[in-house]
Amino acid sequence: MADKDQRDDAEGSANEEESRGKGGGGSKGRSSNGRPAARELVERARDELVAITGRPAFGVSGLTKSEDGWIVRVDLVELERIPPSTNVLASYEVELDGDGELVGYERTRRYHLSQTDE
């Protein structure tokens, strides 16, 4: 009987920890100081840009702290072609404030998927 009580206590503790959010941050995707974590910033910037432009995301290639918030570099597929190596991609700089809210965005570069920087 004592073994069952110990299992129930352990399961209850695990469920309480899961509901609080692991990692000491409290809510999902937040750092310990209540600000958005890097993953949340990147996801938010990508999702907002996809929603605004209607173009699919190819990836995220940068995250930089700015004076007033964050700059996230997101790459979108601007033109799909056959073969896919000739797709036209574009890099956008998405600016977020300190709370992770969208401030603005700007396309900074267009290039073919097969193109490399030298």
User: Where are the domains positioned within the chain?
Assistant: 1-34, 35-118
Residue with tokens 């938010």: 44
CATH code: domain 35-118 is 3.10.450
The CA distances from residue 26 to 11, 13, 15, 83, in Å, are 19, 15, 14, 46
Instruction: Tell me, letter by letter, the H, E, C secondary structure of the chain.
Output: CHHHHHHHHHHHHHHHHHHHCCCCCCCCCECCCCCECHHHHHHHHHHHHHHHHCCCEEEEEEEEECCCEEEEEEEEEEECCCCHHHCEEEEEEEEEECCCCEEEEEEEEEEECCCCCC
Q: Is 60 exceeded by the pLDDT of residue 11?
A: no
The CA distances from residue 13 to 25, 28, 32, 68, in Å, are 17, 18, 21, 39
pLDDT bin (cut points 50, 70, 90) of residue 17 is very low
Give the model confidence (pLDDT) of 48-72 as tens digits. Answer: 999 999 999 999 999 999 999 999 9
Structure confidence at residue 31 (pLDDT):
67
Query: Distance (Å, rounded) from C-alpha 60 to C-alpha 64?
Result: 12
